[in-house]
């Protein structure tokens, strides 16, 4: 029941109950500043606003978002924790929630379905102005144990437009103590950021403290893939399945006309009939002219 896992889209089972999520408060500025910190293995942003809720998406009850953090690689060929059809993304963001059945995350962290984590991939492309509201403060948490406050953001702007297509499975936290209490949701549409924005993580963030003798870049902070061990991965959409039928053989059209014996006889008969009619017309014309 450990995470992350490699997801094969053709093996995912379509689940009609995996409907669209609802996000209460995500379209508005959060009601308090957030705290960004470097804990030595990731950059984490704590969400202080307790009014936000996530519901729907095939989960029971509501879940409260408490933080989001990032996993990234030393280059663009790796970084994401989850893998889709053998494709690795350069970075992955996790928005961590706990069930509102509990008073605080410490009570939910080791309970079945106590946590909900929304996973989002990143790809390199155009500059993302919305993430500048977060990335601009990375230099303030360059070293382990650094913290800084960042102004409120609109959470809706940090996630992709398509929140309908996603995968679902039961798993664990990807960092110790790796409790198997997570309802994982991995969205298919990646978030686009620029190459320079991605470089900020690789070049500015260190896994060492400010007083360390030798600085060490914080990269490749992703856990190795774990075995599914019989677990099912579900999808909110119908994925293409491999065909179990033998492919149909389509005979090519023969553009060379090949007449049968009957076709030839019919053609000869038609030609003779036309010839007789033609002779009759000529004869009639000749006789008519002779009488005149």
Q: Which of 7-16, 65-74, 268-277 has the lowest mean pLDDT?
A: 268-277
Query: What is the model's pLDDT at position 275?
Result: 47
Give me the chain's average pLDDT, please: 88
Token pair in block for residue 127: 């500059």
- The CA-based angle 98-30-201, given to 5 degrees, is 80
This prediction has a pTM of: 0.82
Structural fold of domain 6-235:
Carbonic Anhydrase II (3.10.200)
In terms of Cα–Cα distance, which of 93, 236, 69, 116 is closest to 165? 236
Contacts of 31 (CB under 8 A, 6+ apart): 49, 51, 152
Structure tokens at 181: 């209490």
CB 164 within 8 A of CB 232: no
The model's pLDDT over 78-92, given as tens digits with 9 standing for 90+, comes to 999 999 999 999 999
- Mean pLDDT calculated for residue range 49-76: 97
Q: Which residue in the list 41, 55, 130, 165 is annotated as catalytic?
A: 41
> Residue 41 catalytic?
yes
Q: Which two tokens stand for residue 29?
A: 């500025």
Task: Note the pLDDT tens digit of each residue in 270-284.
Answer: 454 544 444 454 455
Q: Where are the domains of the chain?
A: 6-235, 253-292
pLDDT tens track for 158-168? 999 999 999 99
Mean pLDDT score, 198-204 = 96
Distance in angstroms (rounded) separating the CA atoms of residues 35 and 20: 29
Q: What's the whole-number mean pLDDT along residues 13-19?
A: 98
Angle at 156 between CA 154 and CA 162, to 5 degrees: 165
Q: At 248, is the pLDDT very low, low, confident or very high (cuts 50, 70, 90)?
A: very low
pLDDT at 169 > cutoff 70: yes
How far, in Å, are 82, 118, 166, 201 from residue 58 at the CA level?
A: 20, 13, 11, 34
pLDDT > 60? residue 60: yes
């Amino acid at each position: 029941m450990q995470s992350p896992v490699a997801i094969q889209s053709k093996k995912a089972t379509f689940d009609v109950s995996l409907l669209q999520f609802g996000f209460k408060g995500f379209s508005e500025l959060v009601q308090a500043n957030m705290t960004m910190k470097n804990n030595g293995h990731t950059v984490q942003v704590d969400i202080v606003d307790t009014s936000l809720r996530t519901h729907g998406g095939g989960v029971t009850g509501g879940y409260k978002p408490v933080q989001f953090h990032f996993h990234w690689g030393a280059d663009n060929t790796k970084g994401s924790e989850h893998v889709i059809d053998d494709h690795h993304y350069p970075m992955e963001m996790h928005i961590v929630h706990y069930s509102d059945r509990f008073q605080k995350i410490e009570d939910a962290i080791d309970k079945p379905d106590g946590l909900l984590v929304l996973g989002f991939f990143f790809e390199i492309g155009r500059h993302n102005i919305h993430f500048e509201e977060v990335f601009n403060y990375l230099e303030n948490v360059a070293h382990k144990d650094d913290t800084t406050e960042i102004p409120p953001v609109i959470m809706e702007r940090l996630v992709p437009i398509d929140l309908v297509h996603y995968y679902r499975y039961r798993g664990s936290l990807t960092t110790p103590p790796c409790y198997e209490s997570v309802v994982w949701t991995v969205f298919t549409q990646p978030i686009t950021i620029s190459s320079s924005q991605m470089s900020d993580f690789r070049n500015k963030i260190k896994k060492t403290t400010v007083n360390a003798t030798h600085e060490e870049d914080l990269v490749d902070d992703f856990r190795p893939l774990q075995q599914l061990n019989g677990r099912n991965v579900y999808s909110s959409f119908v994925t293409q399945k491999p065909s179990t039928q033998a492919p149909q053989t389509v005979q090519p059209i023969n553009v060379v006309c090949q007449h049968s014996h009957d076709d030839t006889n019919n053609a000869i008969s038609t030609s003779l009939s036309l010839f007789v009619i033609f002779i009759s017309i000529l004869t009639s014309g000749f006789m008519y002219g002779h009488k005149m």
